[in-house]
Amino acid sequence: MKIKHVTILVIALVLLDQLLKIWIKTNLCIGEAIDIFSWFKLQFVENNGAAFGMQLSSSGGFDWGKLLLSLFRVVMIGLLGYFVYRISKRESTPKGVIIGTSLILAGAIGNLIDSMFYGLVFTESTFTTVAQWGEGYSSFLMGKVVDMFYFPLFRWESVPQWLEFLVDSDNYFFGAIFNLADAYISVAVVYLLLFHYKFFK
């Protein structure tokens, strides 16, 4: 698989992720949901950068944890991009490995774009107003990540303590809210572990 094809794939995946996030951010207020099916909703939430809607704690003032996470992402994306470039140049690399690692790269870039620029180009999202293109509300690398996929598959009346991480505050499984970039990464990691684990030895 040639590097130009990998580049086109990554760009297309990132664009798809960003178009959906921008539509959600500029058409829904935080917490607002669109019912697609009874078990699938588009629900707008934002977080400081952790996966699957998880919140990073901040004790007020400047959020150093958020900044460190964003910088860590920049470094990891650089390393992953170099890795994808190297393996795509090797004829012996399975196409599935290149596609899988490209999905992870696209997912990481998609979430990093939120952190890098959303705080600069959007007004702040609130429970009463939809975010608009404007003067921004935070600095570079400090924007919040947009999540929207919510699957309240079924509700547990009594959840075992060791399974509480799989449910939300209303005891719905699967309670996490995530975005397309998170999905890229999760699907790719599972695929690579199941079908290409020997390559990474």
Instruction: Give the catalytic positions in this structure.
Output: 147, 182
Q: For residue 150, what are the β-bridge partners?
A: 41, 177
Report the distance separating Cα 136 and Cα 188, nearest Å: 33
DSSP calls for 112-134: HHIIIIIHHHBPPP-SSS---BS
Torsion of CA 123, 124, 129, 130, to 10 degrees: 60
User: How many whole angstroms separate alpha carbon 122 and alpha carbon 21?
Assistant: 12
Paired tokens of 80: 């992953």
